[in-house]
């Protein structure tokens, strides 16, 4: 007679298939993908970049440990999600920002944006971007102060010293009724792609960010729909606006290689917790982020719109998930009430 215990079936909630990845392993993959941009930042900005990454990562871990202890919950610092939040926050900060301001940003990122909602998997908004936006609103001068940098100047025929980002220069010049304030050609685009420009410490090198993004795609830690649709939307809008107004607008390469678009599209908009779960939803999310980024850049009050765009789209993720939910086979669709 067969053993009745052996014939029993285990009943458990879905999902019933597991990819083998854990939160810890995924977070380590993200940290490894961020390594090229982090190393370039340390070489480009020196000690300040390393200082900000260490301060933000350590602060996020300490705040998470303290919150979990205060709420009498199991500590979650071993999954490295707090470290990832800290590194991403640092990469969205200017190199000369004081350490105590970075700690304030880490507090809002972990305590307010993450643990108040219940910890990882429950937060509605990207924690690192919440920390950055709080700092940008609270300390606008320090968050928009940049080291001196050299960019090609169309009139002087040589490098001109500037203490602003390319986006900031363009925004200021156009707002004052002037044209494009610097030369942007193939040589300048290559310079920007490699990372020789002003900006937040993690956003300057497009090459380093793309290397990290390709690694995440290879590891299947992210899907291509969100970053590709995000970047394609920015490029299409920039191309259309340049055709309509070539005197005041620069083309797709400029908008893709300046600001935090690449960092946001690859590492922020693809956050598993705060982005849609369906492939169609990911595409819609990416398109929405691209549109909002360009709207804020061109007509908003800030030169850069990536952080605000992603956070605004985070707010509508539940609606996107609802309207892109796949049809469940075997169920009869209920008729609409008249």
End-to-end CA distance of the chain: 59
Helical H runs in the chain? 23-45, 47-70, 81-91, 99-107, 127-138, 140-143, 166-175, 186-194, 206-218, 225-244, 252-257, 261-263, 279-299, 306-315, 317-323
Establish how many alpha carbons lie within 13 A of residue 68's alpha carbon, considering only the half-sphere containing its beta carbon.
16
Q: CB burial class (10 A; 0-12, 13-18, 19+) of residue 174? A: middle
Within 8 A by CB and 6+ apart from 233, the residues are 286, 287, 289, 290, 291, 294
Q: What phi, psi does 162 have (nearest 5°)?
A: -140, 150
Give the pLDDT score at 163.
Answer: 60
Q: What is the pLDDT of residue 249?
A: 84
Q: Are 125 and 268 in contact (CB under 8 A)?
A: no
d(CA 89, CA 129): 7
- Cβ–Cβ under 8 Å, residues 245 and 235: no
- Find the angle CA(256)-CA(260)-CA(264) to the nearest 5 degrees: 100
The total number of residues written for the chain in this structure: 338
Are 311 and 293 spatial neighbours (Cβ–Cβ below 8 Å)?
A: no
Say if residues 68 and 116 touch (Cβ distance below 8 Å). no
* Domains of the chain, residue spans: 23-143, 188-198+222-323
- Euclidean distance between CA atoms 99 and 183, whole angstroms: 35
63/55 Cα distance (integer angstroms): 12
Q: Give residue 160's pLDDT.
A: 46
pLDDT of residue 181: 77
Of the candidates 267, 260, 263, 237, the one whose C-alpha atom is nearest the C-alpha of residue 250 is: 237
Tens digit of pLDDT per residue, the chain (338 long)? 555 555 555 565 555 555 556 788 899 999 999 999 999 999 988 899 999 999 999 999 999 999 888 888 877 778 889 999 999 999 999 999 999 999 999 999 999 999 888 888 888 999 999 999 999 999 998 898 876 655 544 433 444 445 678 888 888 877 777 777 778 888 888 988 998 888 899 999 999 999 999 999 999 999 999 999 999 999 999 999 999 888 888 889 999 999 899 999 999 999 988 999 999 999 999 999 999 999 998 888 888 889 999 999 999 999 999 988 887 665 666 666 65
Residue 256, φ and ψ in degrees, nearest 5: -80, -30
Report CA-CA distances (Å) from 234 to 60, 88, 282, 291.
Answer: 32, 22, 16, 7
Cα(64)–Cα(256) distance, integer angstroms: 34
**3-class DSSP assignment, residue 151:** strand
Q: How far apart are CA 242 and CA 132, in angstroms?
A: 30
- Separation CA 16–CA 3 (nearest Å): 25
């Amino acid at each position: 007679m067969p053993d009745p215990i052996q014939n029993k079936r285990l009943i458990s909630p879905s999902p019933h298939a597991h990819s083998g990845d854990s939160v810890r392993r995924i977070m380590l993959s993200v940290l490894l993908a961020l390594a090229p941009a982090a190393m370039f930042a340390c070489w480009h900005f020196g000690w300040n970049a390393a200082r900000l990454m260490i301060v933000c990562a350590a602060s996020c871990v300490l705040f998470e440990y303290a919150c979990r202890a205060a709420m009498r919950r199991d500590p979650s610092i071993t999954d490295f999600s707090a470290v990832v939040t800290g590194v991403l926050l640092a990469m969205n900060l200017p190199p000369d920002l004081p350490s105590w301001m970075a700690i304030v940003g880490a507090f809002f990122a972990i305590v307010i944006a993450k643990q108040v909602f219940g910890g990882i998997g429950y937060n509605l908004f990207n924690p690192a971007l919440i920390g950055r936006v709080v700092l940008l609103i609270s300390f606008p001068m320090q968050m928009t102060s940049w080291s001196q940098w050299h960019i090609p100047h169309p009139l002087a025929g040589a490098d001109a010293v500037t203490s602003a980002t390319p986006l900031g220069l363009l925004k200021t010049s156009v707002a004052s009724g002037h044209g494009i304030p610097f030369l942007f050609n193939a040589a300048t685009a290559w310079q920007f792609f490699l990372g020789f420009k002003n900006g937040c410490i993690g956003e300057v090198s497009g090459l380093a960010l793309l290397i990290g993004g390709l690694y995440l795609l290879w590891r299947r830690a992210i899907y291509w729909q969100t970053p590709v649709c995000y970047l394609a939307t920015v490029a299409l809008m920039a191309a259309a606006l340049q055709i309509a107004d070539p005197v005041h607008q620069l083309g797709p390469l400029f908008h893709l290689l300046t600001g935090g678009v690449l960092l946001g599209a690859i590492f922020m908009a693809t956050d598993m917790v705060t982005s849609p779960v369906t492939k169609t939803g990911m595409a819609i999310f990416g398109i929405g982020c691209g549109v909002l980024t360009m709207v804020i850049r061109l007509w908003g009050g800030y030169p850069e719109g990536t952080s605000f765009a992603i956070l605004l789209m985070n707010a509508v993720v539940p609606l996107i998930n609802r309207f892109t939910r796949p049809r469940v086979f075997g169920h009869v669709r209920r008729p609409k009430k008249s």
